[in-house]
Amino acid sequence: MAIASSLHAISPMAKNFGDGPRLKQTRSITTRFRASSDTPVPDFLSSDWFESRRKRPFGPRLNISAEEAVQCQLDALKYNDQPRPDYGVEVMYRFAGFDPFERSTYFGPFFDLGQFERFRRIFHHSTYRVLLCHKERKILSSLWVQEDRFKQRVWIQGARPEEEEVFEFTMFQRVGGSWDGYWLTESLIHDGDGFSGGVAY
C-alpha cells in the first residue's frame, strides 16, 4: 500500500512536468551585409573579343542536317571572297573532319592537311578552283549510306568559260567527344582523276 501511494504521489508531478509551461524559443536574427569594394573587377575578355567572334568563319552546328551542312559549304565557296579572301575555304576547313596530325584522304590521295595553307592551296589547284566563286550548281544524287553517313554528288559550273566539274561530298556524324552529334566532311572527291599530273601544296 505504501508503494502504491508513492506511485500516485509521483504521477501528478510527472503530469505537471509534461504539461507545464514551456520555455520560449528565441529565434536568432541574422543580419545580412552587402559586400562592396572599390577595387575594379578584372575584365578577362579582350576589348575586341566580340568583334573577333563576329568575324569567325561559319562552322558546324548541332541544329543543321547533313544536307544543310553541304549546302552551307557550297554557299561559302560560291561567295568565297566575302567578307574576305578565301573565307569560303576557311569554312570548308572548319567542317573538315580529318585529324590534323595525320595524313588525310579528304581530297582522295593522302595529303598532309594539318596546316590551313596547304588545305587552301589545293582549292586553288586547277581541279578544285572551279568551286571558288562558282556560278551554278546542281545536285545530281544523294545517298544515305548509313544513319550517320551521307553522300551527295554535285555538278558545278565555274566562273571561267566552259569550266564545269562534278564532286562528291561524304559527310559523317561524329559520335563522342566535343563534336558529338555534329556533321563533318569526311571527303570532297573530284569525279575523275583530278591529281593525275601531281599537285604542289
Model pLDDT for residues 13-28, shown as the tens digit of each residue: 444 444 544 544 445 4
Any domain includes 14: no
Cα 147 from Cα 172, distance rounded (Å): 9
Domain count, the chain: 1
66-78 vs 87-95: helix axis angle to the nearest 10? 160
**48 band by pLDDT with thresholds 50, 70 and 90:** low
Cα 166 from Cα 37, distance rounded (Å): 65
Highest mean pLDDT among 8-12, 23-27, 53-57, 101-105: 101-105
Percent of the chain whose predicted confidence (pLDDT) is above 70:
68
Any domain includes 6: no
Please tell me the predicted confidence (pLDDT) of residue 139: 97
Please tell me the predicted confidence (pLDDT) of residue 157: 97
Q: Is residue 94 classed as helix, strand or coil in its secondary structure?
A: helix
Query: What letter does residue 20 receive in the DSSP assignment?
Result: S
pLDDT per residue as tens digits for the range 84-137: 999 999 999 999 999 999 999 999 999 999 999 999 999 999 899 999 999 999
Any domain includes 25: no
Instruction: Output 141 or 197, whichever has higher pLDDT.
Output: 141
Please tell me the predicted confidence (pLDDT) of residue 179: 87
Any domain includes 21: no
Examine residue 83 and say whether the peptide bond preceding it is cis (omega within 30 degrees of 0): yes
* pTM exceeds 0.85 for this model: no
Pairing of strands 164-173, 149-157: antiparallel
Any domain includes 19: no
The CATH number linked to 124 is 3.10.450.50
pLDDT per residue as tens digits for the range 148-178: 999 999 999 999 999 999 999 999 999 988 8
CA torsion, ordered 176, 177, 180, 183, to nearest 10 deg = -110
What grid cell was written down for 98?
Answer: 580529318
Burial (CB count <10 Å: 0-12, 13-18, 19+), residue 174: middle
Any domain includes 169: yes
| Full domain range(s) for residue 163 | 63-190
Minimal CA–CA distance to 150: which of 141, 159, 162? 141
Any domain includes 102: yes
Q: Is residue 14 classed as helix, strand or coil in its secondary structure?
A: helix
Any domain includes 54: no
